[in-house]
Chain A
Amino acid sequence: MEPEAKLQELKAKLKNVIKRSVYVYRVDCGGCNGCEIEIFGAITPVYDVERFGIKVVSSPRHADLLLFTGAMTRAMRLPAIRAYQAAPDPKIVVAYGACGCSGGIFHDSYGVWGGADAIFPVDVYIPGCPPTPAATLYGLAMALDLLQQKIKREQWVEKEVTPVLPKYEGVDPDLAKEIEREARRLSGYLYGRRIAAQYLEFVREKDPLAVDRKVKELVKQEKDPRLAEILLNLHKIYMERVGHDAG
């Protein structure tokens, strides 16, 4: 029998045997310990991986499943190999976190060899920086064949040229730029963009008096004083511009 096929068969047998009692040993190959915190978050009562029998053990000799966290650094590669060899065969290897999957943000560092897959055959990759306890739970369940994989490789090809229209249709781009910039300056990119989109909905009316009335009404109804303040600031920019154009 082919060694690869035999290994797969052994792993399937292992999964069948360890069903409700999986011992996990985690190896930190040189990460920032964010992943460890999330692993320990996963064994707290809130996420409670122990209801699936998953238990974090302190020796690789007891382990069925090895979790490699952090980028594979030059200094930690030998201890990682020792831990791998100490774990009894067959074993399941999981690359955990962005660094464990591919080196993450440290991928081009001088002391980093890449992810765990640079040295070991990896069964499951759990991306995330760090993966949330729920993602950890999902990844471990996938390693044990309890859940199915959800994402697939995606590929798009542009067959014919399809134009992309600017975001705020029907609004003067200069005004849209100024409004969005001010909103982002005041409240950050995430909320700023939303607030700017909300405000520019009114501007689409074209009639400055109607815009003025509607915005004032909205500000009056707004319970959050911060949002009201930002909307008033944006309105000031608009009114100045409109006044300038008229005068």
Chain B
Amino acid sequence: MLRLLKKALEVGEATVEYPFKPIEVAQGFRGKPAYDFSRCIGCGACATACPPNAITMDCDLERGIKSWNINYGRCIFCGRCEEVCPTGAIVLSKEFELAVIKKEDMYCRAELKLCRCIFCGEYFETFREIEYVREILEQVGLTKKSSESRVQFLKVCPKCRRHKVARIAALSNWHVDLNGRREENGTRS
């Protein structure tokens, strides 16, 4: 009996004082994905990578908005979003106290503005992503003059871009052969 008491005193208390005092989580603990709205460009890499589809993206073409949604109730804390994020907008924090009473509190939503295509006028990409690409092109060292036309070219949607490139190629190489057909295309569209 005494020996047991002595042993117990030697070992001390094993129980953590958690709810009364904050607990220190292990190094590299993957908790709630902390979202930094000011760094998000809305590229959708995280939504593509997310295994349980906790992160989803949606386009509202009426309002010109791309929305980013996360459901913490579905998140499996794998960290794939952090791995693929090009700007570091999403980082897994150490927060683990995520219990909620209402399901709505587990959701997080962000809305990014979409840019219109300068030719067809349809929404196609977020302003932030275009700005981000422009910034990178500038850093790579494009001259001011050529980057000006490139900036304009960034605001062309993939569909129009394909049309333009095809038209330029056709005009420059097979001007005579395709001249008639080009007009045909023009009338059809």
Question: Residues of A at under 8 Å CB distance from B?
Answer: 45-48, 51, 98, 101-105, 107-108, 115, 117, 122-129, 131-132, 134-135, 137-139, 141-143, 146-147, 149-158, 161-167, 172-174, 189-190, 193
Q: Is B83 an interface position by the 8 A CB rule?
A: yes
- A146–B39 alpha-carbon span in the complex (Å): 37
> A129 touching B75 by the CB < 8 A rule?
yes
- Docked-complex contact B111 and A157, CB < 8 angstroms: yes
Identity of the chain A residue whose Cβ is nearest the Cβ of B110 in the assembled complex: A156
- The closest CB in chain A to the CB of B71 belongs to A102
Is the pair A164, B131 in contact by a Cβ cutoff of 8 Å? yes
Which residues of chain B are within 8 angstroms of A167 by Cβ–Cβ distance? 86-88
Chain B: residues with CB nearer than 8 A to chain A?
14-16, 18-19, 23, 25, 28, 32, 35, 37-41, 51-53, 71-77, 79, 82-83, 86-89, 95-101, 103-113, 127-128, 131-132, 135-136, 139-140
Q: A101-B74, A101-B106 are in contact. Are A126 and B128 (CB under 8 A)?
A: no
Contact: A124 with B73, CB < 8 Å?
A: no
The answer to whether A137 and B128 have CB atoms under 8 Å apart is no
A166–B135 touching, CB < 8 Å: yes
With A98-B73, A105-B76 as known contacts, state yes or no: A125 contacts B100, CB within 8 Å: yes
| A74 shortest CB reach to chain B, Å | 19
A165 touches B100 (CB 8 A): no
Alpha-carbon distance between A123 and B88 when the two chains are bound, in angstroms: 35
> Do B98 and A107 have beta carbons less than 8 Å apart?
no
- 13 sampled A-B residue pairs with Cβ under 8 A: A51-B15, A98-B76, A122-B103, A128-B77, A137-B18, A138-B18, A141-B19, A150-B97, A158-B110, A163-B128, A165-B132, A173-B139, A190-B79
Let me know if A164 and B88 touch, CB within 8 A: no
**Contact: A161 with B128, CB < 8 Å?**
yes
- Please indicate the chain B residues that have their CB under 8 angstroms from the CB of A172 in the complex: 139-140
CB-nearest residue of chain B relative to A126?
B99
Indicate which residue in A115, A147, A163 contacts B19 across the interface (CB closer than 8 Å).
A147
**With A47-B15, A153-B105, A161-B127 known to touch, is A166 a contact of B75 (CB < 8 Å)?**
no
Question: What CA separation (Å) do A98 and B71 show in the bound complex?
Answer: 10
Of residues B25, B51, B97, B104, which shows the largest number of chain A Cβ atoms within 10 Å of its Cβ?
B97
Task: Indicate the member of B52, B87, B99, B104 with the most A CB atoms within 10 Å.
Answer: B99
- Shortest B25–chain A CB gap in Å is 8
CB of B39 within 8 A of CB of A164, answer yes
Listed from nearest, the 5 A-B pairs whose CB atoms lie closest are: A101-B73, A139-B99, A129-B76, A105-B52, A163-B131
Q: How far is the CB of B70 from chain A (nearest CB, A)?
A: 9
The answer on a CB contact under 8 Å between A135 and B96 is: yes
CA distance A146 to B136 in the complex (A): 51
Which chain B positions have C-beta within 8 A of A163? 128, 131-132, 135
Bound CA span A115–B72, Å: 13
Flag if B32 contacts A98 (CB, 8 Å): no
Q: Given the known inter-chain contacts A102-B71, A162-B38, please indicate yes or no for A124 contacting B99, CB distance below 8 A.
A: yes
Cβ contact within 8 Å between B76 and A124: no
Tell me, rounded to whole Å, the shortest Cβ–Cβ distance linking B64 to chain A.
Answer: 11
Inter-chain contact B108/A155, CB cutoff 8 Å:
yes
Known contacts A154-B109, A164-B41; A135 and B135 CB within 8 A of each other: no
Q: Give Cα A195–Cα B88 distance, bound, in whole angstroms.
A: 15
Instruction: Add 19 more A-B contacts to A125-B99, A135-B99 (CB < 8 A).
Output: A45-B14, A51-B15, A127-B73, A127-B99, A134-B25, A149-B99, A150-B95, A150-B98, A153-B106, A155-B109, A156-B37, A157-B111, A158-B110, A166-B135, A166-B136, A167-B87, A174-B140, A189-B82, A190-B82
